[in-house]
Chains A and B, each alone.
Chain A
């Protein structure tokens, strides 16, 4: 399959998600190009996580369309989105608590590969993410940051062409956050990414195109510097601290 840089891989048209009278996502037109790294930011309740859930199939949008690599995915089941080769990490770590870190990652690799390849891919991923010390520990017994890493490992092991991360650095130490930035940049060499994040420090470290959500709509889309400088953006989100 040949994909050229510049091709639109994720597109939403007039996407709305209403809960009763609350318009969590309202008429959002969004597009992401192949190999692009995009950050979604916005204050609490801006609709970025709801938007994320509409992309991953966890929520069925009220109206509008989601198109992933040319395929209409509006209201698809999460496994159908994932089966396109999309790696997804949710906000609250979703891991298999009763299984070892290794088994967690193996399950991600085994979805796409045969037995032998899955085993070697699991070993590679463990090496790459430096999870060697905890490979045989039950994930339920790990610290929050480590659980986040196991989940990132599961995303990486599936070798996705598109990665959707919802607050990947939440609850991580500085050191861990830094490593996450490195990992994201590495993933970005081969895949497109959408990163929903709260932490401005983190966004500045990645520093690419940023989409700012406000009250369910896209307020602006620009570089982090431009957004930081914009008075509207400062008002809705950054306050007067930044």
Chain B
């Protein structure tokens, strides 16, 4: 297990280094921006888990992300503190995903319809919450605010609800959350549960003929993925300072898929890296008016689907693997365990 986790741990250590060095080197504005990118990377990680490893193409991962952000914001306003709000955001989102997933997986809904259902749920959230402007739409003390959204209270110290974190401190929290989620997912895909999920992705019938209840496994990985997306949502509304129904729009739903396609299915670091890269690309493009942002993203997607269909990370791994094999006289070190893909 430790051996298979080694690449994951290496990236985690690099992440920790970055976490401590970045605030010393970078400006506050960049750090605040980075917090948002980190939150989106957690979202990408959650889809990398359920699509890349579980084989579940969820077109509405952003629904869990947005739901997590809304639950956090509303409960933090009502509780007057963030600690329980974070836990509640994760739990409610996971419970919602479990209920939705129950009907999908135990009803044996096939892949395409699963995509349609999850996207529809996302767009329902979008339409519903947009219509909640006005004083009558409130939960406890929190006004839902329609398309203007709600401003999110920042995270406070767990033992002192009056000491709020500064933006650079939120950066530490977000980065720590990303690293923890990454290591957790890297561990999960190497457990029996994770390996069975991968086998279900490869061949559902065979997994079932071995005696695995694939409905339960799929429901499990779907729910865990939703919980992780909710953590991303909590970090997102902390980074931006508010949450609006736009998080549920079609653009964001599609963007999540693009991150995973570009980064590579079946890896974890790929989609995380792709999220940062595309986040900064769109920021850079935002500063000019020659090219339309969506057009560029569309072209990138087409290029990847046509030329690098496996995504960046698996292609790089293949490339190095091929080079290593070409070297003559080198005895390949036997890897213990019987895996095809360690989590990177």
The distance from the CB of B277 to the nearest CB of chain A, in whole angstroms, is: 26
* Cα distance A90–B214 in the bound complex, in angstroms: 18
Complex Cα spacing A154 to B338, Å = 15
Q: Within 8 Å CB of A34, what residues of B? A: none
Given A96-B202, A98-B202: A103 in contact with B339 (beta carbons within 8 A): yes
Q: Are B209 and A78 in contact (CB under 8 A)?
A: yes
A88 contacts across to B, CB distance below 8 A: 209
Q: Judge if A82 is at the interface, Cβ distance under 8 Å.
A: yes
* Contact segment of B114-122, B190-198, B223-231, B238-246: B190-198
Would you call B202 and A99 a contact (CB within 8 A)? yes
Q: How far is the CB of B248 from chain A (nearest CB, A)?
A: 33
Task: For the complex, give the distance between the alpha carbons of A94 and B207 in Å.
Answer: 9
Residues A103 and B340 in contact, CB atoms below 8 Å apart: yes
A-B pairs with CB below 8 Å: how many?
76
- Nearest chain A CB to B292 CB, angstrom units: 37
Residues of A near B213 (CB, < 8 A) are 77, 79
Contact B338 A135 (CB under 8 A): yes
B-contact 0/1 string along A190-233, CB 8 Å cutoff: 00000000000000000000000000000000000000000000
- Of B202, B203, B210, B339, which one neighbours A82 at CB under 8 angstroms? B210
- By a CB distance below 8 angstroms, the chain A residues around B195 are 103, 106-107, 110
Q: Are A103 and B208 in contact (CB under 8 A)?
A: no
Task: Please tell me if A49 contacts chain B, counting CB pairs below 8 Å.
Answer: no
Which one of B192, B199, B339 has the greatest number of beta carbons of chain A within 10 Å? Answer: B199
B residues in contact with A56, CB < 8 Å = 209
Instruction: Tell yes or no: A158 within 8 A of B by CB.
Output: yes
| B205 at the binding interface (Cβ < 8 Å) | yes
Residues of A within 8 A of B198 (CB): 98-99
Q: Are A111 and B202 in contact (CB under 8 A)?
A: no
- Give the complex CA separation of A154 and B210 in angstroms: 8
B211 within 8 A of A: yes
> If the complex has contacts A78-B205, A90-B205, A96-B206, are A111 and B338 also in contact, measured as CB distance less than 8 A?
no
Residue of B nearest to A164 (CB): B209
Q: Are B340 and A90 touching (Cβ within 8 A)?
A: no
In the complex the two chains form, is A97's CB within 8 Å of B212's CB?
Answer: no
A54 within 8 A of B: no
Contact with A along B23-49 (1 / 0, CB 8 A): 000000000000000000000000000
**A83 at interface (Cβ–Cβ under 8 A)?**
yes
In the complex, how many angstroms separate the beta carbon of A211 from the nearest chain B beta carbon?
Answer: 22
Let me know if B203 and A94 touch, CB within 8 A: yes
**For this complex, into which size category does the number of interface residues on chain A fall?**
20 to 34
**Structural contact, A100 and B209, CB atoms closer than 8 A:** no
Which B residues touch A58, using CB under 8 A?
205
Instruction: Check A95 for interface membership: any CB of B closer than 8 A.
Output: yes
Contacts of A115 in B (CB 8 A): 192
Contacts of B207 in A (CB 8 A): 96, 107
| Docked CA distance A78–B213 (Å) | 9
Contact (A97, B210) CB under 8 Å given A122-B338, A135-B338: no
User: CB-CB < 8 A to A122: which residues of B?
Assistant: 338
Distance of B162 from chain A, by nearest CB (Å): 48
Q: A102 interface residue, CB < 8 Å from B? A: yes
A97 with B340: CB separation less than 8 A: no
Assembled-state Cα–Cα distance A99/B210 (Å):
15
A232 to B212, CA, bound (A): 43
Cβ of A98 and Cβ of B338 under 8 Å apart?
A: no
Fill in one digit per residue for B96-119: 1 if any A CB lies within 8 Å of its CB, else 0.
000000000000000000000000
Interface: A129 (CB within 8 A):
no
Residues of A close to B210: CB separation below 8 A = 79, 82, 107-108, 111, 154, 158
Q: Is A236 at the interface (CB under 8 A from chain B)?
A: no
B198: shortest Cβ distance to chain A, in Å? 7
Name the CB-closest residue of B to A84: B211
> Closest CB-CB distance, A157 to chain B, in whole Å?
9
A33 to B205, CA, bound (A): 27
Q: How far is the CA of A158 from the CA of B207 in the complex (A)?
A: 12
Interface centre among A83, A122, A138 (most CB of B within 10 A): A83
B212 touches A98 (CB 8 A): no
Q: Which residues of B contact A107 (CB under 8 A)?
A: 195-196, 199, 207, 210
Distance in Å: Cβ of A98 to nearest Cβ of chain B:
5
Asked if B340 contacts A138 (CB within 8 A), the reply is yes
- Given A97-B202, A99-B199, also A90-B338 (CB < 8 A): no
Contact B209 A94 (CB under 8 A): yes
Q: How far is A112 from B210 in the complex, measured between Cα atoms in Å?
A: 10
Within 8 A of B (CB), among A58-101: 58, 77-79, 82-83, 88, 90, 94-100
Instruction: Establish whether residues B205 and A158, one from each chain, have CB atoms under 8 Å apart when the complex forms.
Output: no
Report the Cα distance A115→B208, complex, angstroms.
Answer: 20
Output the nearest chain B residue to A92 by Cβ-Cβ distance. B205
Q: Tell whether, in the assembled complex, residue A106 and residue B202 are in contact, meaning their CB atoms are under 8 Å apart.
A: no
Contact A111-B212, Cβ < 8 Å, known A94-B206, A96-B202, A99-B199: yes
**Within residues 153 to 197 of chain B, which ones have a CB less than 8 A from any CB in chain A?**
192, 195-196
Which residues of A, 22-59, contact B by the 8 Å Cβ criterion? 56, 58
Q: Chain A residues near B206 (CB, 8 Å)?
A: 94-96, 154
- Show 20 A/B contacts (Cβ-Cβ < 8 Å), sorted by A: A77-B208, A78-B205, A78-B208, A78-B209, A79-B211, A82-B210, A82-B211, A83-B211, A94-B205, A96-B206, A96-B207, A97-B202, A97-B203, A103-B339, A107-B199, A110-B192, A112-B211, A115-B192, A135-B338, A158-B210
